[in-house]
Amino acid sequence: MIVALNNKSNLDCQEFQHYQEELKKIKTNETLILCPTFLNLGQFSSDTISLGSQNVSSRGNGAFTGEVSALQLKSYGAKYAIIGHSERREYQKESLEEIHEKLLRLLENDITPILCIGETREEREQGRVEEVLEQEILTAIEGMSEEDRARMIVAYEPIWSIGTGIIPTNQEIEEVFQFIKTFLPKASILYGGSANEENIDQLNQISLIDGYLLGGLSLKVEKLKIFLQKLEK
């Protein structure tokens, strides 16, 4: 399974050094992907954990102040990049078209995109889950080859579940995963949103899940170890 760790905007320089030493002690057969902030990305080195970023510029190198290009990420050893996280869609007002451009920049540089999609509580209550997800998926992957689609990772992160301690029922997750597979039958699909060492036993019953995108738990190494142990059961 894939376990991607989204540190979000956490850990300063010293904290990150300590954190990565602790992380490296973890013994697991799962594929761990660490996505630190851009600043900490250059500090990371590991033979067993892969490196990912939390974002990428929708453009290449050039006069784009404050942006980090896919080419730069690649030179720092990033193999994966999260795009379209709901926090960026909300706070940075990232558009569907921008996310599509980011996806293209990543593929041009052999970086695997981890495309985040998910609905709000309101959208779920209005019965609009499939409509929202379909739009997020189709605009992102427009024009992509079958081969590139198969390389992608999708993270289903219901917005109402992120950081709230509330997770969907297994049936709700299964329905969404089946739906995603109608567009991307070969892509890996992760679940994200309050996944932790306590609810992993329940989530683990869902055979369609290829892995997890962890926010809060990524920062708690001891609890992360328990999560990984339970995942391997």
* CA pair distance 118, 109, nearest whole angstrom: 26
215 is an interface residue for ligand 13P by CB under 6 A: yes
Q: Is 19 helix (H, G, I), strand (E, B) or coil?
A: helix
- Give the separation between CA 85 and CA 193, rounded to whole angstroms: 12
> What does the alpha-carbon distance between residue 49 and residue 32 come to, in Å, rounded to a whole number?
5
* 175 in catalytic set: no
- The residue from 98, 157, 222, 232 that is catalytic is 157
User: Are 213 and 167 contacting, i.e. CB atoms less than 8 angstroms apart?
Assistant: no
Instruction: Check residue 136 for interaction with ligand 13P (CB under 6 A).
Output: no
Exposure class string for 105-129: b at 16+ Cβ within 10 A, else e: bbbebebbbbbbbbbbeebbeeeeb
User: Minimum distance from CB of 165 to ligand 13P (Å)?
Assistant: 8
Residue 122 beta carbon to ligand 13P: minimum distance, rounded to whole angstroms: 18
Among 51, 144, 214, 224, which residue interacts with ligand 13P (rule: CB under 6 A)? 214
Residues 32-62 as b or e (16 or more Cβ within 10 Å = b): bbbbbbbebbeebeeeebbbbbbbbbbeeee
The site map against ligand 13P for 52-91 (x = CB under 6 A) is ---------------------------------x------
> In this chain, which of 94, 119, 136, 157 binds ligand 13P, going by CB under 6 A?
157
192 touches ligand 13P (CB under 6 A) = yes
- Shortest reach from residue 85's CB to ligand 13P, in Å: 6
The closest residue (CB) to ligand 13P is 215
Single out the residue of 158, 63, 162, 61 nearest to residue 118, CA to CA. 158
| 157 part of the active site | yes
Contact positions vs ligand 13P (CB under 6 A): 6, 85, 157, 162-163, 192-195, 213-217
As annotated, the active-site residues are: 85, 157
